[in-house]
A and B are shown apart, each in its own frame.
Chain A
Amino acid sequence: MTSTSLRQRLRERLTPDNIRRALWFGLLVFAAYILYLDHVVRTEFERKSWAIPARVYARPLELFPGEKLTRARLFEELKFLHYRIASTTLTPGSYSRHGNDVDLVTRPFTFWNGPTPATALALHFADGKLAALQNLATGVPVSLARLNPVLIGRIYPADRSDRQLITLSEAPPDLVNGLISVEDRSFYTNYGVDPRGMARALWTMLRGDGVQGGSTLTQQLVKNLFLGPQRTLRRKFTEVIMALLLNLHYTKQQILEAYLNEVYLGQEGNHAIRGFGEASKFYFDEPLSQIDLAQSALLVALVRGPSYYDPRLHPRHALARRNLVLKELLQQRHITQAQYAQAIREPLGIAVAPPLSASPYPAFLDLVRRQLLRDYPANELRSAGLRVITTLDPEIEVAAEHALTTRLARLETEQHLPADSLEGAVVVTNSQTGEVQAIVGGRDPQFEGFDRALDAFRPVGSLIKPAIYLTALEQPGSYTLATLLEDTPLSVQESRGVIWAPRNYDRRFHGLVPLPTALANSYNVATVRLGLKLGLPAVMNTIRELGIRHALPEYQASLLGADSLTPIEVAQMYQTLANGGFRVPLRAVRDVLDAGGHPLQRFSLKVTQVVPPGPVYLLTYALQGVVNHGTAVGLAQYVSPDLHAAGKTGTTQNLRDSWFAGFTGNHVAVVWVGRDDDKPTGLTGATGAMTVWGKTMAQIDPEPLNPPRPADVDMAWVDPATGLRADSGCPGAVRIPFIHGSAPVQSAPCASRSPIRVLKTWFQRLFGHQSGI
Chain B
Amino acid sequence: MVALRSLMPLLSALALLLDACTLLQPATGFSFDSSNVAVVSLFNTARQDRRAGNLSAADATLERALRIEPHNAALWQALARVRLAQGRYRQAEALAQRASALSGKDKALMSQDWRIIGKAREQSGNPTGAQDAYRKADELMR
Query: A430 contacts which chain B residues (CB < 8 A)?
Result: 67, 70
Bound form: Cα–Cα A431–B67 in Å: 10
Query: A650 contacts which chain B residues (CB < 8 A)?
Result: none
Bound form: Cα–Cα A599–B57 in Å: 10
The answer to whether B70 touches A608 (Cβ under 8 A) is no
B residues 64-85 in Cβ contact with A at 8 Å: 64, 66-68, 70-71, 79
CB distance from B94 to the nearest CB of A (A): 5
Most buried by A among B37, B59, B79, B95: B37
Answer whether residue A613 sits at the interface, using C-beta atoms and an 8 A cutoff. yes
The answer to whether B98 touches A607 (Cβ under 8 A) is yes
Most buried by B among A65, A144, A602, A710: A144
Query: B61 contacts which chain A residues (CB < 8 A)?
Result: 113
The answer to whether B42 touches A432 (Cβ under 8 A) is no
Contact for A64 among B38, B66, B101, CB less than 8 A = B38
Bound form: Cα–Cα A105–B42 in Å: 22
The answer to whether A609 touches B98 (Cβ under 8 A) is yes
Bound form: Cα–Cα A662–B35 in Å: 29
Given A607-B95, A609-B97, A710-B101, are A62 and B60 also a contact pair (CB < 8 Å)?
Answer: no
The answer to whether A65 touches B37 (Cβ under 8 A) is yes
Bound form: Cα–Cα A591–B68 in Å: 18
Given A112-B60, A602-B56, A666-B70, are A708 and B102 also a contact pair (CB < 8 Å)?
Answer: yes
Given A599-B56, A708-B102, are A432 and B36 also a contact pair (CB < 8 Å)?
Answer: no
A residues 600-654 in Cβ contact with B at 8 Å: 602, 604-609, 613
Secondary structure of the A side of the interface? Answer: loop
Query: B59 contacts which chain A residues (CB < 8 A)?
Result: 602, 604
Query: A609 contacts which chain B residues (CB < 8 A)?
Result: 94, 97-98
> Chain B 50-64, CB within 8 Å of chain A: the 1/0 string?
000000110111011
> Chain B 35-47, CB within 8 Å of chain A: the 1/0 string?
1111011100000
Residues of B within 8 A of A (CB-CB), count:
29
Query: B60 contacts which chain A residues (CB < 8 A)?
Result: 112-113, 591, 602
Given A113-B57, A144-B42, A605-B79, are A582 and B98 also a contact pair (CB < 8 Å)?
Answer: yes
Bound form: Cα–Cα A604–B63 in Å: 8
Bound form: Cα–Cα A599–B66 in Å: 21
Given A62-B38, A606-B91, are A432 and B56 also a contact pair (CB < 8 Å)?
Answer: no
Contact for B41 among A144, A432, A709, CB less than 8 A = A144
A residues 637-692 in Cβ contact with B at 8 Å: 666
Bound form: Cα–Cα A431–B68 in Å: 12
Closest B residue to A616 by beta carbon equals B101
Query: A117 contacts which chain B residues (CB < 8 A)?
Result: none
Given A608-B94, A609-B98, A613-B101, are A432 and B66 also a contact pair (CB < 8 Å)?
Answer: yes
Bound form: Cα–Cα A711–B139 in Å: 14
Answer whether residue A94 sits at the interface, using C-beta atoms and an 8 A cutoff. no
Answer whether residue A66 sits at the interface, using C-beta atoms and an 8 A cutoff. yes
Query: A432 contacts which chain B residues (CB < 8 A)?
Result: 66, 70-71
CB distance from B130 to the nearest CB of A (A): 17
Most buried by A among B68, B98, B101, B102: B101
Closest A residue to B70 by beta carbon equals A432
The answer to whether A708 touches B79 (Cβ under 8 A) is no
Answer whether residue B104 sits at the interface, using C-beta atoms and an 8 A cutoff. yes
Bound form: Cα–Cα A604–B102 in Å: 20
A residues 443-492 in Cβ contact with B at 8 Å: none
The answer to whether A582 touches B56 (Cβ under 8 A) is no
Given A62-B38, A144-B41, A599-B56, are A605 and B70 also a contact pair (CB < 8 Å)?
Answer: no
The answer to whether A607 touches B91 (Cβ under 8 A) is yes
Answer whether residue A149 sits at the interface, using C-beta atoms and an 8 A cutoff. no
Contact for A605 among B37, B40, B66, B97, CB less than 8 A = B66
CB distance from B113 to the nearest CB of A (A): 12
CB distance from B16 to the nearest CB of A (A): 19
Closest A residue to B110 by beta carbon equals A711
Most buried by A among B38, B41, B91, B104: B38
Bound form: Cα–Cα A666–B79 in Å: 19
The answer to whether A433 touches B38 (Cβ under 8 A) is no
Bound form: Cα–Cα A490–B68 in Å: 49
B residues 91-121 in Cβ contact with A at 8 Å: 91, 94-95, 97-98, 101-102, 104, 110
Answer whether residue A143 sits at the interface, using C-beta atoms and an 8 A cutoff. yes
The answer to whether A433 touches B66 (Cβ under 8 A) is yes
Closest B residue to A606 by beta carbon equals B91
Query: B67 contacts which chain A residues (CB < 8 A)?
Result: 62, 430, 433, 435
Query: A613 contacts which chain B residues (CB < 8 A)?
Result: 101
Answer whether residue A580 sits at the interface, using C-beta atoms and an 8 A cutoff. yes
Given A708-B104, A710-B101, are A65 and B70 also a contact pair (CB < 8 Å)?
Answer: no
Query: A66 contacts which chain B residues (CB < 8 A)?
Result: 35-38
Bound form: Cα–Cα A65–B40 in Å: 12
Query: A435 contacts which chain B residues (CB < 8 A)?
Result: 67
Bound form: Cα–Cα A301–B66 in Å: 51
Query: B71 contacts which chain A residues (CB < 8 A)?
Result: 432, 708
CB distance from B30 to the nearest CB of A (A): 18
Query: A604 contacts which chain B residues (CB < 8 A)?
Result: 59, 63
Bound form: Cα–Cα A435–B67 in Å: 9
Closest A residue to B64 by beta carbon equals A62
Bound form: Cα–Cα A602–B40 in Å: 23
CB distance from A412 to the nearest CB of B (A): 37
Closest B residue to A391 by beta carbon equals B67
Bound form: Cα–Cα A666–B68 in Å: 10
The answer to whether A143 touches B37 (Cβ under 8 A) is yes
Closest A residue to B62 by beta carbon equals A605
> Chain A 51-92, CB within 8 Å of chain B: the 1/0 string?
000000000001011110000000000000000000000000
Query: A709 contacts which chain B residues (CB < 8 A)?
Result: 104
Closest B residue to A66 by beta carbon equals B36
Bound form: Cα–Cα A431–B66 in Å: 11
Bound form: Cα–Cα A697–B116 in Å: 38
Closest A residue to B41 by beta carbon equals A143
Bound form: Cα–Cα A467–B42 in Å: 37
Contact for B101 among A590, A602, A666, A708, CB less than 8 A = A708
Bound form: Cα–Cα A581–B97 in Å: 11
The answer to whether B38 touches A582 (Cβ under 8 A) is no
Query: A606 contacts which chain B residues (CB < 8 A)?
Result: 91, 94
Query: B35 contacts which chain A residues (CB < 8 A)?
Result: 66
Closest A residue to B56 by beta carbon equals A602
CB distance from A57 to the nearest CB of B (A): 15
Closest A residue to B54 by beta carbon equals A113
Bound form: Cα–Cα A708–B42 in Å: 23
Given A113-B61, A606-B91, are A582 and B101 also a contact pair (CB < 8 Å)?
Answer: yes
Query: B91 contacts which chain A residues (CB < 8 A)?
Result: 606-607
> Chain A 123-142, CB within 8 Å of chain B: the 1/0 string?
00000000000000000000
CB distance from A248 to the nearest CB of B (A): 41
Given A112-B60, A602-B60, A708-B101, are A62 and B94 also a contact pair (CB < 8 Å)?
Answer: no
B residues 5-44 in Cβ contact with A at 8 Å: 35-38, 40-42
The answer to whether A605 touches B94 (Cβ under 8 A) is no
CB distance from A268 to the nearest CB of B (A): 42
CB distance from B84 to the nearest CB of A (A): 14
Given A64-B36, A430-B70, A580-B101, are A605 and B63 also a contact pair (CB < 8 Å)?
Answer: yes
Query: B63 contacts which chain A residues (CB < 8 A)?
Result: 433, 590, 604-605
CB distance from B108 to the nearest CB of A (A): 14
> Chain A 710-730, CB within 8 Å of chain B: the 1/0 string?
110000000000000000000
Query: B57 contacts which chain A residues (CB < 8 A)?
Result: 112-113
Bound form: Cα–Cα A591–B98 in Å: 23
> Chain A 420-445, CB within 8 Å of chain B: the 1/0 string?
00000000001111010000000000
* Nearest 10 Cβ contacts at the A-B interface: A432-B70, A64-B38, A144-B38, A143-B37, A143-B41, A613-B101, A607-B94, A112-B60, A113-B57, A609-B97
Told that A66-B37, A112-B57, A605-B63 touch, could you supply 12 new A-B pairs with CB distance under 8 A? A64-B68, A66-B36, A112-B56, A112-B60, A113-B57, A430-B70, A433-B70, A582-B97, A582-B101, A602-B59, A607-B95, A608-B94
Q: List 6 A-B contacts (CB under 8 A).
A: A65-B38, A66-B35, A67-B38, A112-B60, A144-B37, A709-B104
